[in-house]
A and B are shown apart, each in its own frame.
Chain A
Amino acid sequence: MMRPRTKKILFSFSLLVFLFFYIPIIFVVIFSFNDSKLGTVWTGFTLEWYGSILQNKQLISATMNSIYLAVITTIISTILGTLAALALHRYTFIGKKSVEFLFYIPVVIPDIVVAVALLAIYGLLNMSLGLNTAVPGHVAITISYVMLVVLARLSSFDNSLEEAAKDLGANEWQTFWKVTFPLIFPGVLAGALLAFTISLDEFVISFFTLGPGDNTLPVLVYSMVRLGVSPEVNVLSTIIIAIMFIVVFVVGLRMRKGGEAK
């Protein structure tokens, strides 16, 4: 369909784009094995920095904080988002358009607006900031993603299955747990995974609404990166990039396969 020449040009162009994406990342990975403590001249191979980072207490506590926040966020926004998706899929009601519009706001709102708005409210209420004061913001920006993913799954849902269950004498509760939930479960899981990843990755809201002593991983990375190039950041970045690579490919390939099987 495409002319061979067009295809060739597109191929070369896309190759350049991939290089643009990956060259900086590759340099981080290379320099994480660099012997030199100072920046960017290669002096020799070492694993020393990998050893020292595993003993970095700040890093371990920031990682634990990030995971804690992501788990709490995921639990709340998965439940709330799924319920909302069920409502929007099943019913027509007054105000539906406005509700839908409201759910799109967190998708497009700049995170800094959410962050300073929450900070202002906390200030008004004289609340002291801690780890949990980041939860409301994290949930507020992830609910919509769960809702939209579950809603997409529901749109291929065959409503007659629920009717059949009811005809056979199941009550609403039984119908939900025995019929609806198992069928939408892949959507709920995908939504939960999305919420977890967004929360884990979230920087701006955490930066504004966490207490002074409570770092998450991105907040810690920010304070380290501001100080310039260092072997610790190289190693930390390499580890995070490697985890991202593995997660994206394992989850991605599995979801693609699941999609094809369906």
Chain B
Amino acid sequence: MRRSFKKAYLLLSPSLFWLTLFLVIPVLFIAVISFTTNGDFGAIIYEFSTEAYTSAFSSLYAKVIWQSVWWAFVATLVCLVIAYPFAYFIANAGKWKNILLLLVMVPFWTNLLIRLYAWIILLNNQGVVNNFLMDLGFIEEPLQLMYSPGGVILGLVYGFLPFMILPIYSSIEQLDKTYLDAAEDLGAGPVRTFLNVTLPLTFPGILAGFIITFVPAISVFVVTDLFTGGKLLMVGNVIRDAFLVEMNWQLGAALSLLLMILVLLSLMIFMRFTSRKDRKLLV
């Protein structure tokens, strides 16, 4: 690798320019807005105020923040529990590996809205499941399957499960099998080999999966929107409504900034605990 400040930045300048102009500056502007005063009709008055943060942590919104964190966390854990054995199976499926992986890619690339819509067909009041149960006489009234925290968590899991599967799959696939043989030769049983060798070596995949599942899960607004018609809220719903409906940009900006801080923290943790070669697990 050569040392050349000028040439490096010449090649980097177009993308750095773009990212600065359309990502860094707008996010910094959001940070500024979050500390301004809210005028009439959504006007931004440039006077310092922490009111947006006070209201973000008031009982009304604190509850939304808390339940977003909780639902996203539960959904991410469920994804992890499903994804690990599943990825392990695919990584060891021999000649079927590629086909099975492609079968995961289809839902991964199909638009989230369409995949959530598919669940609406199954779960809504006149949906397949309710019709089926009523025809069999198990229930008289349709069950409210989507309009509950459980429904939201199902939507989150279905939406973001592939994000968990793919990095874990890569880390299991890259696992040097000779370590497993060595553990076996040294007398470790399968459980011990798994806990002491496989799990630690695939930890970067788990960490990457956790981050790229948790971040969209906590900020998504379409799951609550489509499943509960806005009856249950997550942070994303509040941000959207603050900007588009209530014209309270300060509140929306403050919540966006809190999300951003959460993301930067998790990215720093990830970079701290993984090597450069593990970074590509994020993509």
Contacts and interface: CB of A to CB of B under 8 A. Distances in A.
B2 A90 contact: yes
Interface in B86-126: 86, 88-90, 92, 98, 100-107, 109-122, 124, 126
Contacts, number: 272
Contacts of A79: 14
A111 B29 CA distance: 16
A240 B111 contact: yes
A119 interface: yes
Contacts of B12: 83-84, 87-88, 99
Interface in B234-248: 236, 239-240, 243-244
A140 B23 contact: yes
A203 B225 contact: no
A27 B118 contact: yes
A40 B127 contact: yes
B4 interface: yes
B121 A24 contact: yes
A225 B226 contact: yes
A46 B19 CA distance: 49
Contacts of B116: 225
A183 interface: no
Interface residues of B, number: 96
Interface in A194-211: 197, 201, 203-204, 208
Nearest to B4: A91
Contacts of B119: 24
Main secondary structure of the interface of A (DSSP, over half): helix
A226 interface: yes
Interface string A79-114: 111011011111111101001011111111111111
Interface string B238-261: 011001100001001100100110
A140 B22 contact: yes
Nearest to A225: B117
B150 interface: no
B104 A120 contact: no
B192 to A, nearest CB: 14
Nearest to B268: A101
A111 B11 contact: no
A252 B222 CA distance: 29
A237 interface: yes
A86 B11 contact: yes
B122 to A, nearest CB: 6
Contacts of B90: 14
Given A87-B11, A108-B267, A226-B226, A116 B121 contact: no
Given A13-B86, A91-B1, A240-B111, 11 more contacts: A80-B15, A83-B15, A99-B16, A117-B26, A148-B280, A149-B283, A201-B109, A203-B112, A228-B124, A229-B121, A244-B110
The 8 closest A-B pairs by CB, nearest first: A110-B219, A117-B26, A24-B118, A87-B11, A91-B8, A136-B22, A80-B15, A14-B89
